[in-house]
Every structure is written in C-alpha cells, then in structure tokens.
Amino acid sequence: MRELNQVQAIREALDEELERDETVYLSGEDVGTFGGNFGETQGLVDKYGTERVRDTPLSEIGIVGHALGASIGGLRPVAELQFADFAATAGEEFINQIAKMPYISGGRLKAPMTVLAPSGAGIRAGAQHSQSVHAWTGHQPGLVVVAATTPYDAKGLLKSAIRDDNPVFVLAHKKLMGFKGEVPEEPYTLPLGEAVVEREGEDVTVVATQRLYHRSVEAAEELAEDVSVEIVNPRTFSPLDVETIAESVRKTGRLVVVDETPLRYGTQGYIASRIADEEFFSLDAPPRTVGVEDTPIPFSPTLEDEVIPSTSKIVDAIESVF
C-alpha cells in the first residue's frame, strides 16, 4: 500500500470531498494561494476557484461564525484555523452557538460544518500555539471532537466529518504533519465515535492517541518480552467509544490512559473514571493516567520535552499497574 504523510492525507480528503459534493467549501486564513499553514491546501484554489476555497480575514470568530450560518443555510463548510489554540478566540461561536444550535432549535436546524485545526506540542511554538484542546472542546455537548493519530485516520475521519450533519472539530497533531503511514488509494471513510484496537495484547490496556500513541507503541515494544500491551486509539473523544475500551479492559484487567491534555480535569481522568465505574470488577489494579502536568506548554525545547510525557514515563506507568 502507498504511504502518505498527514498533510498529504488531509489534502487528499479535502480534494475528494470538494469534488464529490458541490455544497462543500473551504475557508480560512491563507488556505488559498499560500496553500495552508502546513501546505495542506496547496493547489486546491487553482482547481476549485476562490468561491469554494476562500481566504478570510484574520478573525477566528468570523471564520467559524460564517461557517455556522452557511451550514444552517444548506452548505457543508470546512473552516480551517491555523492553530487549534485559536478556537479560544472563537469561543462564543464554538460554545454558545455552534454546539447548541441544533439542540436549541429543537432539531429543526442542522449544522453540518467541520472545523479543521492543528493541535499539540512539539514544534517549539510556545504556550499559545502548543495546546491539545480536545479535552475542553470535548466538554461541550453538541460538538463532535475527533483526534487523528495516523495519516489513515486523518483522511478517513476528515471525510466522515465533512459528511456528518453535526458540527465536528477535527484535530491533526502538528508534530505528526510529516509522519508517513499507509493510506489506501481508493476513497474510504472511518466512522465517527468508534475507537479501534491498534495493537493486540493480553496483560494491560493502554488508551492513547496522536503523538502519545506512537510513544505508547515504543513503550509496548520496549516491554514486549515481559508485558503484552494492547493499545486502543479512541479516534473520537466526543462521543467517546467507552465500550471498545471496556471490552479491552475485560480481557487485560489493567488500564493506563495516556494523553497530551493536562491531567487536571483531563480526558485521562474521565476515561479512567468511566472504566472504574463500569468495569470495577474487571480491574486487577487501579487505572493509571499519564499527561501534561499543571503548567502551560513551555517555549524552551528542554522544558517542553520535560512537560510532554516521554516513552520512559509511559513505560513506568505500565509497569506500575503490576
């Protein structure tokens, strides 16, 4: 099978959906001639024109607000933010309008819009450009929140997001933009709200996504002689596929949740608590959580590397549940 990097996978997903459905259009800062923050929209404006690939002013609240209005009016906009952190500047639209519009209209209004944004640390971009935001955006009822881990994920989940009738926030990790993986040549989609067991194991379940999924794979390989690690990739944080995680824990009896969001009120604690509530008697040890400590992401490379969980820290967490 051919290999694409994550940028190429995203571009291909956008291209296929723009070609498939005339109601799909793309808007955001520098998505046109410049070709996107990471090159993910290169060539699309030449193919589809400025009506369907639209450069916007530097206003995140305007970008996503415009997309909300267009989606209610029958289009399927893809609104791109240069960094996921900037969802905060569009908070009024995200939290009070986009997430709630289908509900407060009694289901009469649909909002089939997608917000696409790069998230996460690792490119030394400082505290305002390095956050993983799927924890706090996942708190909002009405938003579907997706985190792509591989190029295969990025393409299949983005295509499904564009076709979904709900507002979907698709997060692709900045550090993984150049990461290559197998992507089928034929068009495909991946279901939203379904986790996947990426690595089969017998002794412990590790739930991990995006950059820390790959570090969890490294940890599993390091421990392979002594511990059989099963790794579950959630893919979607809202709604969360608890059953796939629970089924894995029923087999292994142990759980470690690894994520790049802060530990305080983070996804790790939520997943661990759900499993503890629903599968208490399946657990042979208390669940362990691994994440970012209570600090903004530092600009200093040395400090950033200290804050983001390392492979060795994941190894330690896995060993601690035995």
Spatial distance between the Cα atoms of 115 and 79, rounded to a whole number of angstroms? 5
Task: Answer for the pair 95, 148: CB distance below 8 angstroms, yes or no.
Answer: no
Place of tokens 């404006």: 45
Q: Let me know how long the chain is.
A: 322
Spell out the alpha helix ranges (H) of 113-209: 134-138, 151-163
CA 275 to chain centre: 21
How high is the pLDDT of residue 116?
98
Q: What phi and psi, each to the nearest 5 degrees, are found at residue 194? A: -125, 125
Place of tokens 């938003």: 143
- Residue 107 DSSP SS3: coil
Place of tokens 């295969």: 152
Spatial distance between the Cα atoms of 42 and 15, rounded to a whole number of angstroms? 10
Give me the CATH code for the 3-182 domain, please. Answer: 3.40.50.970
Instruction: Quote the tokens at residue 185.
Output: 């040549």
Residue intervals of the chain classified under CATH 3.40.50.970 are 3-182
How do the pLDDT tens digits run along the chain, 322 residues long? Answer: 899 999 999 999 999 999 999 999 999 999 999 999 999 999 999 999 999 999 999 999 999 999 999 999 999 999 999 999 999 999 999 899 999 999 999 999 999 999 999 999 999 999 999 999 999 999 999 999 999 999 999 999 999 999 999 999 999 999 999 999 999 999 999 999 999 999 999 999 999 999 999 999 999 999 999 999 999 999 999 999 999 999 999 999 999 999 999 999 999 999 999 999 999 999 999 999 999 988 999 999 999 999 999 999 999 999 999 9
**Given 129, 134, 173, 214, the catalytic residue:** 129
Residue 129 falls in the annotated catalytic set: yes
Question: What DSSP designation does 97 have?
Answer: I
**C-alpha torsion sign, points 57, 15, 192, 206:** negative
Q: What Rg do the C-alpha atoms of the chain give, in angstroms?
A: 19
Query: Among 31, 259, 277, which residue's Cα sits nearest to residue 145?
Result: 259
Axis crossing angle, helix 311-320 with helix 210-222, rounded to the nearest 10: 60
* CATH class name, domain 196-320: alpha beta
Spatial distance between the Cα atoms of 148 and 169, rounded to a whole number of angstroms? 11
**The pTM is what?**
0.96
Q: What phi and psi, each to the nearest 5 degrees, are found at residue 76? A: -125, 80
3-state secondary structure 253-306: CCEEEEEEEECCCCHHHHHHHHHHHHCHHHCCCCCEEEEECCCCCCCCHHHHHH
Q: What phi and psi, each to the nearest 5 degrees, are found at residue 63? A: -60, -50
Question: What DSSP designation does 234 have?
Answer: -
Residue intervals of the chain classified under CATH 3.40.50.920 are 196-320
Beta strands in 127-273 (DSSP E): 144-148, 168-173, 180-182, 196-199, 204-208, 229-233, 236-238, 255-262
Per-residue CA distances from 210 to 25, 133, 195, 233, 271 (Å): 27, 12, 13, 8, 16
How high is the pLDDT of residue 179?
95
Spell out the alpha helix ranges (H) of 33-184: 44-48, 60-72, 91, 101-104, 134-138, 151-163
Spatial distance between the Cα atoms of 322 and 314, rounded to a whole number of angstroms? 14
Element (H, E) at 291: strand 288-292
How high is the pLDDT of residue 1?
86
